Amino acid sequence: MANTHVKEMQALKEHLGKHQLKLTRQRELILSAFLRQEHITAEAMYHQLAKSDPHLGLATIYRTLNLFCDAGLAQARHFGSQTKYDNVSHKGHHDHLICTGCEKIVEFENEEIERLQEEVATKNGFTINTHRLELYGLCSRCRH
């Protein structure tokens, strides 16, 4: 953990405090590992963390990642049949370009698109809370 993810740790503690939840060894461990990722599945974290803690349960990973979502540190995203958890704490919102050839994921942000989305929403009487934009195609390497 060291002193790298202090801010996120602080945000987590704040959330825990507000909801009568406790800070556990597992939650610290999972947070620390999660913050090193861009987006990851619970299953992937399970295998990854099995090295440092072979007895960490899969259910705990799921519970904890969902907790991070509640705390605003993570954001769940459904990709096909799986859920990926995005690290959203220090990077802010971003959308995805997904290569259907090699599964590579590129993140991007575009203010103009965001603005137009607001416009569409307003025109239809909606107030947007979140959105999701995914572009599927082939990256330069897979296109030939």
Say whether residue 51 binds DNA (CB under 7 A).
Answer: no
DSSP symbols for 4-49 = TSHHHHHHHHHHHHHTT----HHHHHHHHHHTT-SEEEHHHHHHHH
**Pair 96, 106: CB distance under 8 Å:** yes
Report residue 113: phi and psi, to 5°.
-60, -45
Site map (CB under 8 A) of a copy of itself, residues 71-110, x = contact? -------x-xx---------------x-xx-----x-x-x
Alpha-carbon distance 57 to 63, whole Å? 10
Taking the complex as a whole, the smallest distance from the CB of residue 101 to a copy of itself amounts, in Å, to 10
Which of 6, 50, 102, 128 is close enough to bind a copy of itself by CB under 8 A? 128
The tokens describing 81, both together, are 């049949």
Binding partner of residue 110 among a copy of itself, DNA, none, CB under 5 to 8 Å per kind?
a copy of itself
Residues forming the site for a copy of itself (CB under 8 A) = 78, 80-81, 97, 99-100, 106, 108, 110, 112-113, 116-117, 120-121, 124-140, 143
Residues that bind DNA in the complex, under the rule CB under 7 A: 16, 20-27, 41-43, 53, 55-60, 62-64, 66, 78, 81-83
